[in-house]
Chains A and B, each alone.
Chain A
């Protein structure tokens, strides 16, 4: 393992029966880096994310997160995760939701209250904090998901399609939130189909196709790569990987 890396995925493969969802993936994320994880549907992004969270074991290869095994709950205490689409407990309100997840993270009541106030404000749900989640729109649920992922002030934030359902203003706020996390030395790893947002946010991108990583590189080099922007690079990479 490379010393000091936030995530070290080394020659990882994962099969489901005869289907190889991820094949020989190696990817290293440095602390304080924002890395976008791109690919078409079924490319292996979510499977990789699940292995990074210790929810799935690799068939072969190793995944190290913050220097440890992500299946160890002590390692996961420093990870925040937001799934692509989750319908959080409809009978809770946002404050109760964060209080619940705070308890699962082992935070004391005072810290949970403080973090809840900060995060509800940061994701723009302070005014709706007492409304049941069943009355929330998709975008509001997404913001509640972002808040729960940040509750334990994680060193590594893993996000699956974080921009889904967010309105333009919420996207701007969320982008600023992620950049602020980066300034504080946190690592952000997210999968997305939103190439524009990815280009604006990321230091590096990795592009997956049919379980293989077909491109890894810094976003700032895109102009010199013969591609004017990430969208063109994405299409060109997938075309070349045929």
Chain B
């Protein structure tokens, strides 16, 4: 257990250094800062109530940036190790492929969470600067967003072992963004289609990661209140189970991968 913890600590540190020393992530954070500051100062139409739309825009930015970082973090876990041949000295050390996968996943999630935490600090600061107040459901919204990021990293990690980087990032983004905006409407779409297509749409609904489950932006912006504790727990369990299933598949792919 001590060995495992030391290995995970090393992999987490590696992921943090990798993420925070990358110029593109740094640029993204600066962009976030550059967009959030004006948003925090705006008073649209002189109407206090309209500020909720600024909150919505700010939250959408946070979601977009976090998705970009999560997909990138998952994508960069293994392909660069194969390309630079560092996978060989790494696996020649006392670490199994499964343990390496889990350790790298934890590291990538922790690093992506650190960037997300930074964005939420910016968001909260922008709300406070506009004279707004925290909604009671903010902690719940943040926890669900963190769970989504963990899920997105797992999606990208599995994809990185199966297809090229550009294909993985494109497909993962299409699936997650598509589900985020249209996932809840898929059953309605299915009703108006012929049976074969309806079956396909229903299959997508059953299998695809339900990014929309984690989206509490509307509740947060309009003050609709927190979701029921049981629903909240089930969504967290869904994220954990889905991510575990993806990691299981990734472990199978990695085990069969010839070095």
Across-interface contacts of B99 in A (CB, < 8 A):
73
- Give the residues in chain B near A80, CB-CB below 8 Å: 92
Contact A89 B14, CB 8 Å, known A50-B259, A81-B89, A81-B92 = yes
Taking a contact as CB atoms under 8 Å apart, the answer to whether A86 and B89 are in contact is yes
On whether the beta carbons of A87 and B3 are closer than 8 Å, the reply is no
- Tell me how many residues of B have a C-beta within 8 Å of chain A: 28
Cβ–Cβ contact B92 & A96, under 8 A: no
Given contacts A100-B10, A106-B6, contact A74 B94 (CB under 8 A): yes
The answer to the question of B96 belonging to the interface, with a C-beta cut-off of 8 Å to chain A, is yes
Q: Which of B90, B91, B92, B94 contacts A106 (CB 8 A)?
A: B94
* Contacting pair B85 A103 (CB below 8 A): no
Per-position contact with B for A94-131: 1 when CB-CB < 8 Å, else 0?
Answer: 00100111111111100000000000000000000000
Is the Cβ of A148 less than 8 Å from the Cβ of B13? no
In the assembled complex, which residues on chain A have CB atoms less than 8 Å from the CB atom of B88? 50, 53, 55, 81, 83, 86
Cβ of B121 within 8 Å of any chain A Cβ, yes or no, is no
**Chain A positions within 8 Å of B86 at CB level:** 86-89
Number of interface residues of A (CB under 8 A): 39
Complex alpha-carbon distance, A143 and B7, angstroms:
23
Known contacts A85-B85, A91-B22: A103-B6 contact under CB 8 Å: yes
- Contact B258–A56 (Cβ < 8 Å): yes
| CA A174 to CA B65, docked complex, whole Å | 47
Complex CA gap A106/B90 in Å reads 13
Which residues of A are in contact with B by a Cβ distance under 8 Å? 16, 50, 53-56, 73-74, 76-77, 79-89, 91-92, 96, 99-108, 145, 148-149, 152, 158
Instruction: Supply 24 A–B pairs (Cβ within 8 Å), ascending by A.
Output: A16-B258, A50-B259, A56-B258, A56-B259, A73-B99, A74-B94, A76-B93, A83-B85, A83-B88, A87-B84, A87-B85, A87-B86, A88-B84, A89-B14, A91-B17, A100-B14, A101-B10, A101-B89, A104-B10, A104-B95, A105-B93, A105-B94, A145-B89, A149-B89
Report B's interface with A, CB cutoff 8 A.
2-3, 6-7, 9-11, 13-14, 17-18, 21-22, 84-86, 88-96, 99, 258-259
